[in-house]
Each structure stands twice: as structure tokens, then as C-alpha cells.
Amino acid sequence: MTVDARQGATTMQAAHQVPATTETAHAFNRNAGCPLDVSMFDGHAVNLSATERRAASLTTRRSVKKAHQAAWLVNAIRMIDLTTLAGDDTRERVRRLCAKAAQPLSPQLKTAIGMEGMRLTTGAVCVYPTMVRHAVEALAGTGIPVASVATGFPAGLTPLNLRLAEIRYAVEEGAEEIDIVISRELALKENWSELYDEIAAMREACGPAHMKAILATGELRTLRNVYAASMVAMQAGADFIKTSTGKEGVNATLPVSLTMVRALRDYGAETGFKIGFKPAGGIKSAKEAIAWQILMKEEMGRDWLNPDLFRFGASSMLGDIERQIEHFVTGRYSAANRHATA
Amino acid sequence: MTDITPLLSDLDYGTAPEDASIVRKWLDAHKAGFGHFIDGAFTPVGETFAVTDPATGDVIAHVTQGTSADVDKAVAAANKAQPKWAKLSGHERAKHLYALARHIQQHARFLSVLETIDNGKPIRESRDIDIPLVARHFYHHAGWAEILADEFPNMDAVGVCGQVIPWNFPLLMLAWKIAPALAAGNTVVLKPAEYTPLTALAFAQIAAECGLPKGVLNIVTGDGATGAAIVGHKDIQKVAFTGSTEVGRIIRDQIAGSGKALTLELGGKSPFIVFADADLDAAVEGVVDAIWFNQGQVCCAGSRILVAEAVAPRFTALLKTRMAKLRVGDPLDKNTDVGAIVHPVQADRIRDLVQMGQDAGAVLHQIAAPQGCFYPPTLATDVEPASILWEEEIFGPVVTLTTFRTVDDAIALANNTRYGLAASIWSENINLCLDITSKVKAGVVWINATNIFDAAAGFGGYRESGFGREGGREGMLSYLKPASVKSGKAEPAPAALDAAVGLSTTAEIDRTAKLYIGGKQARPDSGYSYTVSGPKSPVGLAPLGSRKDIRNAVEAAAKASGWGKATGHNRAQVLYYIGENLSARAGEFADRLQSFGANKGTAQAEVEAAIRRCFWYAAQADKFDGAVHSTQSRMVTLAMNEPLGVIGIACPDRHPLLGFISTVLPAIATGNAVVAVPSQTQPLVATDFYQILETSDVPAGVVNIVTGPREELSKTLAQHDEVAAMWYFGTADGCAMVEKASTGNLKQTWTEVAGTRDFASPAGQGRKFLARATQVKNIWVPYGE
């Protein structure tokens, strides 16, 4: 039903142009936030069992095969925030990552799927604030934005003035995107007004840099909390809401994602602003890359399969995607050592 | 090079076709047609009919039309195999069922693909739902076979079962029928639906492959006439049917008086109730699972959405958005949500009903569907209870939406149907959910969920959705009977009543027996009395009850529904009190029994037994409770015993006290209200007894007594649509009459030739009586935070 004659007609024009990337101007207005409005989430029910059932059926109801699968995997690459957030990160380590971000797929593979000469990069490179400078240097001329975590990542328990200063530092260093963490304490105490004020201050500190608000959903526990915290973050001006730091006990899951995506859908219906979504942490396989895209397509539609409204926070998923694409091209199962490491 | 770039802009799913080549090859190998599976082997192909793939209209097989001779052969094979099969140890039978479960898993994809080609359901459903449940059912029942002797002591297999199943879940319904039957030691003659016989035939091959003893399972294909030949066959002891209420009625009528056991799993028009505090997104997805599952061809489909006015606009908007995402089309495509309707006849029926609903003012919201045997997912709004779309089971992907204002409104609307199969309740308030659960008339209730099934839980309906349960312990009971009790001699039919004047009676002070209706003594509407004979001469007069008295009594009984909500403890107190008061007047009752000719010892023994029985049922009143089934993780599945409502009871003639007590007490102990027709020839014990009822705090209307001509009064009761069950102890003709008369509202019946059961023996009381007086409501409560 959705696969019909239309497809051929519209794609002919776009045949040699990968759809909008982060370089292109946003076709929508940046979230301006709104005053804290508790009624938008207070008492909003989220039933865990039902959410889990829906999440489970997303990937059993939809299946993407062969050329379509390869296309979806290429699209996933465009939306990866290729990430390194390790204590032993160095300038050289970051440079290697950036090189991979600029050429995530080998030229031979690109040629084999008809993408020779076409631009294909990850959505961004994501690092710690002190690594931003190295990344910016390494990515000069690639058009790939640098994202930085900030605000006392991952726990977010440093004083607010330091957290804000850290944001400003990262922006000054050249970060175009800031991944902030919210104060879980405020969310767990349902101190929504203080949480709102903190996030709003962070958004102000971000200035032109886009702000992704990490909810650390594994520590918020209930889906109702996840929905409420999502709403507060968006009301306070978050451009993206993001599941996890990757450091919590439970990282990105489909049920949590479903809840956050429904929150951003509801926020959009109320305010008209389009909010992006970023699942992060523990997403390693090409299969998961497909699963989250199915979720976005089913719940939100095609617009949320672009890097301006969707990102994967992942470090190792790219390797599996490369192997799967090579399998599509050669018909043989691939091995990790055949692809450039990040 | 494969250029994928054209696919990048739309990022469509594309198609993901399931490879059907192995199944097609199998169909090709059977191009000559299929015979029946009888006595462990396939019969030669007879006169055949074509089986089609509804998605394409292609003929995929030719299947033999079963003749009565075929049915004879199948029943003979089953009959011959049954004693040996039942005599196998539970463990031996368990091994066979286990092997079936294993082989189903090993052939899971084959069966899924075949089911989808034959039925039109999406491969996702046959692969992820139908076939796994089939395997689960055989595993579960392998377990029942293993522990049968321990768990069901003194129970025997019923014998040969005739089973007729529908086309909506062809293999799953086969499993629901065959697994418990075989586990209990029965043998089976099963007829799959005419539209969808192929997985049953594949299953027969699997059974042969597993070495199931020959004759234990027989599959005869054919149409309704074949089904009628099976259920009507004289050597079938039990009939199990799943299908339409219309055909259920025909079967009930056809086998009335045959003595065959019967379970019916029929239609539904189940409410899907969404309260304002529900997770609306979850409820919307629930609708998808309720009515757009299996093209809505699901007996328990939530087909009537009832939504709180406060959230109706938002809920409707979310539902329409979700509906637009459904993909209707090729059932073999893994991306298909809604496949083909099973047959053009069914598609036409859906179209006609929807057209009538639209003519009556319903507003339709639909998405696109392919040409051919498909029907688009449809939401019908502005549907009132007077609409045909509200009343009729459509059996298609069509859901109605109606709003309610209050909780009372929701319940009234939910129960405003002849059916009572299932209900789905959406709210985050557990108090509200359980309150609605207790009030909704349905055999299965899902809270914040829908269409969840498991072999360990019972499934089956209230009202005209049928009777009997499939699955779990309660399902096993439908395939077992008490180990042979010595059968007594049938009582003679009571003589015709004489209501003329002129017969002298012997009492010192004249006593006036009346009817007892709504807690009051009442004169019969007829204004006549009939003579009650003693051994030598008449001993008194009894009121000559008529159909109008039955009408009044049923009305009074229906009003006494508060009794069913009383605690078991309250009911126990009343029953003990009845025993106490009967004991205080034991001598008087013994005298009364003697006046009919009983000797002193027998009379005293009957009174004593009656008092003990009061205590026994008082004891059971707060102990005959349900179960928590072990089904899925993070799920409480409660099986609650609920009263049926109003039970009509025609008492045996002999044992005028014990026959009355033994039948009335289990009914009221479990919360039912009763209209009893006591012993026709010796009714004065029962009319004495209302004085006991009056002094024992029995609420008005809980027990009503109408004396008079048993057959005539029983017929009125059996025909009465307010009466939920009819127990009849009388003549063989009367048994048939009651069963035939019960078809109006498909009430449960319990008929026995009076005299065959000795009410003075242990066979006169027991859990079986309590089970007869109750129906199981299975309640699914998922939890998690």
C-alpha cells in the first residue's frame, strides 16, 4: 500500500543526491521552548506492559530486506553520532574517529551500491569537551559537526555554574551540538520547576549550538517519569531528547524510546516545534539500526529519518553496518578486519 | 552493482516476501486431492471440492467431501481405538502429545506458510502467534496427560469426541480441541472448516509421522452436512464446536436428548472500554490487536470501542493516525498487517453489514485495501446501540466507536449484547479495572491488554457466546466424566395431575400450601390446586403452577442478583442457618415424608442427609474458589468462579426433600437465584420448606418454588431468556425437550433421567454440582512499573 508507483516518480529526481544533511538549512524553526506547563504531562499514563508489547511488535510487523535494507543502513550511517567518551581518549584517538566519520564506508563499497562520489558521513562526532578542539581540527572542511557532552557528564552532579561554564567552554572550542545531562535528582523528586530552570539555563548557555538533553532514562525508572522529563526538557528548549549517557545500568531500549517519541509527538502537536530524538548506549548492531528507524517511521514518519531529527549515539554499530552492506554487495558474510576501524 | 540510491529518499519498506516454495511443492505433490485421515491412514480421494488461496483466488487443493459412510468409518475407528488409548498410562499418552508438540515446532514454518496460504492471514500472525500457540497447547496438555490420574482422580475419558472447528484459526482451533481430548484419553473425529482444511491434513501427516496410534485421531473434511453427520452420530459421546452462534444453536437442537456432552464456543461482540485515565496510545495499539488482528475474524475481537467522552476526540484522532499506518495486502509479505478475508462469501457479508450500518447513520473511516478478497480496516463512529453494527457480529476488520459518560453508563453499554465472550478494559486505576471486571458479562477479561491467549488459562463465554472452557484445568473438565457410578433405574413419569374437587384429605387442621415467589407465599395464577396422593389416600392439595407463575418467579429471581455479590461467608451463614432450622423441625419433615409412604427410618435418614448437605454446601460457599493460572511472565491470570444468574431446577420425583435440597443448595451456595419445580407427586415437603427459608434469612427471590406439572413448567423455564441455566431431572423425553427449548438464549443445561442418580448416595453432592452452578471468568492483569 505504501509501496506504489509514486516511489519511482519521486526518486528519479533525487537519484543522485543524498537527502538533507545537517549542513542544509533547517526546514523548520528551532524549538523556542515554552513556559513550564505541568498539565502537558501531569497524570499522563504510560502503561509498561502495553508499551513493551508495542515495542516488541514494531520489529515483527516490519521487515526491510535486500536493497531496501542496504538503503536503510546507509541512512543509519548518516544519523550516527560517532562517539568516543573514554577516559583514555587522546588527540590521535579522536583524529582516527574523525577520519572514520568522514569516510564511514569504503569507496569500493560505496561504488558497489551506486554511491560513488556522493557525500556520505556520519551525523556528527561526539566527544568530551577537552577533545572538541582536536575533533574540530580533524573535521575541518568535512562539514561534519562536532558534538560535545557537557554538564558534568555522565552524572551531572557538579555545581550548576560549573556545568554551565562547561557548556560555554565546549561551544567556544567549536562544538555545534551539546549533549547535556539532566539532574536525575530533580526528576525523581518531581521538582519540575527547578529542572526546567536548569535546562533552560543550559539552553541559553548553548547559544547557537543545538542542545540534546540526556534524560538518563535507566535512572528515571518509570516510563511516566520518562515522559514527564521529556516534556520538561522540551519546554525548556531542548532541540533533541536523548535516552542515555551510555553509562547507566540500562541504556536505550525500544519501550523507553517509544515513550520519548510519543512525548515529542505530543509536544509538537501542542507547540508546532519539531524535536529530534537520539537513542544512545548499547546500540551495537545493524539490526538495531533498522529497529529504531522502523520505530521512527511508524510513530513519526519519514522526516524523523533525517539527521536533523534523529541520531544514534553509537560507537561500534558502524562496524556491523559496514559488514552487512558488504554482505549485500558480495553475498558473502564479512569480517570486521576488512573494514577501517574508527 | 546494485544502485540503492533511488531507495534513499522515500525509505520505504519494500516487500519482504516469505518463501513459500516448500509448501507449494507439497501442495503440488497432492494435486490429485486429499482423502480423509481415518484409522491412521489417508483414504482414497473421493468426490472433492476446491480449496482456494483467498489472497489470489487460486485453487490450491482439492479435498474430499465427507459422506456419512466416511463419518461412520471414522467414528468406528475412533471407537475401536478409544479403550486402548484410555488404558495407556498417562505417561504413555504424554509422550505422544509431547511428540506432537515437538514435531509442530520442527515444522513450524511449513505450517505457518500453509496456514497463511489457506486462510489469508498475515504470515507474521501465523508465524508469531498461531503456530507457537499450537505447540504450546500440545506441550501443556502433554502435561495434563502425565498427571491426569493425580489431578483428576475418579474421572474417566468421555469416549469418542466429535469436533467441528472454524476457519479463523484453523490449526490453533484444532489444537484447542484435540490436545485436551487426547490428554484425557478420548479419541477424536474432527472436521476442519470447509474453507481451511489444509493444516488439519498436514497435521494428520505429522501425527502419522509421530506414530500416534491409529484411530486415535481421525480427520474428515467436508461441509456443514459432514459436520452434522459427525455431531449427530450415535457413537459420539461428546460434541465440541467452535463457530457461529447460529450453527451452535442448530447443533444444540440436533443433539437434544441424545445424552451427548456438549461444549460450544460461539460468537461475540466484545466491548473494548477506554477510560479517561488510560494510556491512550496503549489503548490505540490495543484496538489494532483487537480488531485488526486476523482481519477481525476473531470471536473474541474487541469490536465495540466504548470510550469516555472526556478523551474521545483525542483517542479517535490517535486511532485514525495509527490506522493509516496499517498495511493491507499480500499475506505472505512479512510487512503485511492485514491480509485477505477468508473467502469472498465472508467479504460480501462484511460489505453488506457495513452498508446497512452506514445506511443507518454510521460514519465510516477507512484506509485503502487491494481489490479482491480484502476489506479495509474500518472505524465506524456515530454508532448507537440500535445500529446493526453494534448488534451483529461482523467478523471483519470493522470496529465501532461509541462514547460513554460515567462508569455506570460504560457497564450498561458493555453488557448491552446477547453475547458475553470477552472484554478489554483500559485504565491505570486498578480499582476501576477490577470493578468493571466484576460487572462485565464475559468469560475472558483483559485489563490493559487484549487477545492474549495461553494454554494454561480457560477460554470461553457467557450468555450466547456458548458454554464450557478450553484450556487449563477447567478445559480438561470438559473432556472428563466421573468414573462410572452405578446407574439406578429410571423413575416412572409422574401421573397426570388432577385439579378437580371431591377428594378428601386426612390432615387434622387443614393446611394451605402456596407457591413461594419473591420471598412471599403466593397463590397460583391459575387459581387451581391439585391433589397430592399418599400411599392410601390423598394427603393434601398443592397449588397448580402455570407459565405465569414461572414468569413471576423468574422476575423475582432476577431481582435477587445482590445474592451473587454477597460474600461467601454471608451465604455460608444463611446455609448453616437453613440446616439449623431444618434440624429443629426434623421430626416434622420426617413425618411429612412418612405421609407419602416412606418408612420411618428412611424418612429420618433423608432429613438427616438433607441437614448434612446444608452444612456441606455452607462449608463450600466460601471455599469453592478459583485459581491463579500460570500463563505469562508479569501477568496475573485469575480464574474466578461466578454464578450463572437465574437457574431453573426441575427436581426428581423421588426423594422429595433430598432431591430438592441437593440441587437448590449448590446453586444458591455459589450465588445464583433459583426457580425450583419440586417433586411433582410429593411437592408438600418443598412447600413446607419455604417456612424454613423464611426463618433462615434467605433474601427474597433467591429461592422460588413453583409446584405443578413438571414438564410444562420446565419447558417454560427452559425457554425463558432470562434463565441462564436449566437443570432437569425427569424423563428421557423431558431431557430432550429441555435441551431443545434451551436454544433461545443457549442456556446451559444439565439434564438427567431421574432415578439414575441416587441422591441419597455420595453421588448426590459434590464439587461437580458447584461447577455446574458457576462459570469461570478468566481475568488477565499484566503488571509492571
For the segment B569-612, what is each residue's pLDDT rounded down to a tens digit? Answer: 999 999 999 999 999 999 999 999 999 999 999 999 999 999 99
β-strand pairing of B646-650 with B673-677: parallel
Chain-chain contact of A7 with B785 (C-beta, under 8 angstroms): no
Chain B closest CA to A21's CA: distance in Å? 12
Enter the DSSP assignment of B17. Answer: B
Q: A48 and B335 in contact by Cβ < 8 A?
A: no
* A326 contact residues in B (CB cutoff 8 A): none
Give the separation between CA B550 and CA B462, rounded to whole angstroms: 23
pLDDT digits (tens, 9 = 90+) for B679-705: 999 999 999 999 999 999 999 999 999
Tell me what ipTM this predicted complex has. 0.94
Q: Cα B516 vs. chain centroid, distance in angstroms?
A: 32
Residue A116 Cα, gap to closest chain B Cα (Å): 10
User: Helix (H, G, I), strand (E, B), or coil: what is residue B381?
Assistant: strand
Q: Is the pLDDT of residue A16 over 50?
A: no
**Shortest CA distance from B426: residue in chain A:** A47
Q: How far is the C-alpha of B69 from the C-alpha of B73, rounded, in Å?
A: 6
* Cis amide leading into A154 (omega within 30): yes
Instruction: Give Cα B101 distance to the centre of its chain.
Output: 26
The mean pLDDT value for B300-315 works out to 98
Interface test with B, best of A1, A52, A60 (most B CBs within 10 A): A1
The residue written with cell numbers 499522563 in the block is A44
Residues of A in contact with B785 (CB under 8 A): 48, 221-222
**CB-CB under 8 Å, A72 with B2:** no
Closest residue, chain A, to B282 (C-alpha): A50
Interface contact B5-A16, CB threshold 8 A: yes
Q: What is the pLDDT of residue A17?
A: 38
pLDDT band at B16 (very low <50, low <70, confident <90, very high): very high
Q: What's the whole-number average pLDDT of chain B? A: 97
Q: Are B529 and B698 in contact (CB under 8 A)?
A: no
Query: Is B226 within 8 Å of B191 (Cβ atoms)?
Result: yes
Does the beta-carbon distance from B1 to A63 stay under 8 Å?
no
The closest alpha carbon to B204, from B194, B193, B215, belongs to B215
One-letter amino acid of B390: W
Which of A49, A65, A72 is closest, CB to CB, to B784?
A49
Q: What is the band of B500 on the pLDDT scale with cuts at 50, 70, 90?
A: confident
Least confident of B130-139, B214-223, B430-439, B493-502: B493-502
Interface contact A302-B10, CB threshold 8 A: yes
Burial class (CB in 10 A: 0-12, 13-18, 19+), B527: exposed
In this complex, is the C-beta atom of A24 within 8 Å of any C-beta atom belonging to chain B?
Answer: no
Position A251 confidence tier, pLDDT thresholds 50, 70, 90: very high
pLDDT at A342 over 90: no
**Grid cell at residue B429:** 486505576
Compare CB distances from B14 to A3, A112, A328 and report the shortest one's residue: A3
Of B708, B724, B705, B713, which Cα lies nearest the Cα of B517? B705
* Chain A environment of B340 (Cβ under 8 Å): none
- The DSSP string of B630-662 is --STTEEEEEEEEE-SEEEEE--SSSTTHHHHH
pLDDT of residue B562: 96
| Cα distance between residue B112 and residue B162, in whole Å | 26
Report which of B303, B297, B195 is spatially closest to residue B244, judged by C-alpha positions: B297
B778 forms beta bridges with B444, B639
**Contact call for A11 and B10, based on CB within 8 A:** yes
The region, left, alpha or beta by phi > 0 then psi within -120 to 50, assigned to residue B472 is left
The one catalytic residue in B161, B299, B373, B433 is: B299
Quick check: A71 and B4 CB within 8 A?
yes
Q: Which residues of B touch A3 (CB under 8 A)?
A: 12-15
Backbone angles phi, psi at A338, to 5 degrees: -85, -5
pLDDT of res. A89: 97
What's the pLDDT band for A23 if we cut at 50, 70, 90? very low
Q: Mean pLDDT over residues B541-557, rounded?
A: 98
Q: Provide the pLDDT for residue B536.
A: 87
Which residues of A carry out catalysis?
Answer: 179, 242, 278
pLDDT tens by residue, A26-60: 589 999 999 999 999 999 999 999 999 999 999 99
Q: Which residues contact B295 (CB under 8 A, 6 or more apart)?
A: B120, B121, B338, B339, B340, B341, B342, B375, B396, B397
- Residue B106 CB neighbours (<10 A): 13
- Touching check for A20 and chain B: CB below 8 Å? no
Chain A neighbors of B782, CB-CB under 8 A:
49-50
Average pLDDT of the segment spanning B7-22: 97
pLDDT, mean of residues B63-85: 98
Cell output for B780 = 488477565
A299-302 CB contacts, 8 Å cutoff, 24+ apart: A299/A258, A299/A261, A299/A262, A299/A265, A300/A261, A300/A265, A302/B10, A302/B11
Please tell me the predicted confidence (pLDDT) of residue B508: 67
CB contact under 8 A, B448 and A112: no
Mean pLDDT calculated for residue range B128-135? 98
- Asked if B1 and A45 come within 8 Å (Cβ–Cβ), the reply is no
Render B211-248 in DSSP notation, one character per residue: TPPTTSEEE----HHHHHHHHT-TT--EEEEES-HHHH
Separation between Cα atoms, residue A67 and residue B269, nearest integer Å: 44
- How is A81-112 classified by DSSP, letter by letter? EEE---TT--HHHHHHHHHHHH--S-HHHHHH
Report residue B723: phi and psi, to 5°.
-85, 125
A39 lies within 8 A of chain B by CB: no
Catalytic, B384? Answer no
What's the rounded mean pLDDT across residues B177-190? 98
Closest CA relative to residue B680, chosen from B658, B651, B704, B703: B651
Report yes or no: B476 and B183 within 8 Å, Cβ to Cβ.
Answer: yes
Closest by CA position to B97, among listed B143, B146, B149, B142: B142
* Residue reference for cell 470477552: B422
CA–CA distance, B6 with A68 (Å, rounded to integer): 10
C-alpha cell at B524: 397460583
Strand, helix or coil for residue B53? coil
Task: Report the predicted TM-score, pTM, of the whole model to 2 decimal places.
Answer: 0.96
What pLDDT is attached to residue B484?
74
d(CA A166, CA A151) in angstroms, rounded, equals 6
Closest CA to B184 of B207, B219, B203, B159: B159
Q: Look at residue B75 in the predicted model and tell me its pLDDT.
A: 98
What are the chain A neighbours of B335 within 8 Å (beta carbons)?
A: 61-63
pLDDT at A13 over 70: no
Instruction: Answer for the pair B50, B62: CB distance below 8 angstroms, yes or no.
Output: yes
Grid cell in block for residue A305: 529519518
- pLDDT band at residue B509 using 50, 70 and 90 as cut-offs: confident
The answer to whether the beta carbons of residues B715 and B695 sit under 8 Å apart is no
The arithmetic mean of pLDDT across residues A117-140, rounded, is 98
Separation of CA A239 from chain center: 11
Split at pLDDT 50, 70, 90, the class of A21 is: very low
Residues of chain A in contact with residue B272, where contact means CB-CB under 8 angstroms, are: none
Q: Which of A2, A11, A57 sits opposite B327 (nearest CB)?
A: A2
pLDDT of residue A19: 41
Calpha distance B267→A255 (Å, rounded): 35
- Residue A44 belongs to what H/E stretch? none
pLDDT tens readout for residues B662-683: 999 999 999 999 999 999 999 9
| Distance of alpha carbon A94 from alpha carbon A173, whole angstroms | 15
Q: Do B335 and A62 touch (CB under 8 A)?
A: yes
Task: Identify the residue with better confidence: B536 or B658.
Answer: B658
Q: Do A54 and B282 touch (CB under 8 A)?
A: yes
Looking at residue B507, its pLDDT comes to 63
Q: Which residues of A touch B784 (CB under 8 A)?
A: 48-49, 52
Say if A43 is an interface residue toward chain B (CB within 8 Å): yes
Q: 532514562: which residue's cell?
A: A217
Pairs of residues, one from chain A and one from chain B, whose beta carbons lie less than 8 Å apart: 145
Are residues A212 and A233 in contact, defined by beta-carbon separation less than 8 angstroms? Answer: no
Pairing of strands A240-242, A312-314: unpaired
Could you tell me which chain B residue has the CA closest to the CA of A258?
B281
Cα separation, B98 vs B273, in Å, equals: 39
- Whole-angstrom distance, CA of residue A125 vs CA of residue A312: 11
Q: Mutate which of A16, A49, A303 to disrupt the B interface (most B C-beta within 10 Å)?
A: A49
Angstrom distance (rounded) from CA A128 to CA B723: 75
d(CA B755, CA B764): 11
Q: What is the pLDDT of residue B506?
A: 62
Q: Do A47 and B448 touch (CB under 8 A)?
A: yes
A96 touches chain B (CB under 8 A): no
The Cα angle at residue B216 between residues B213 and B220, in degrees rounded to 5: 125
* pLDDT (mean) for A176-181: 98
Q: Is A305 on the interface with B (CB under 8 A)?
A: yes
Residues of A in contact with B328 (CB under 8 A): 1
Q: Which chain A residues contact residue B12 at CB under 8 A?
A: 2-3, 7, 68
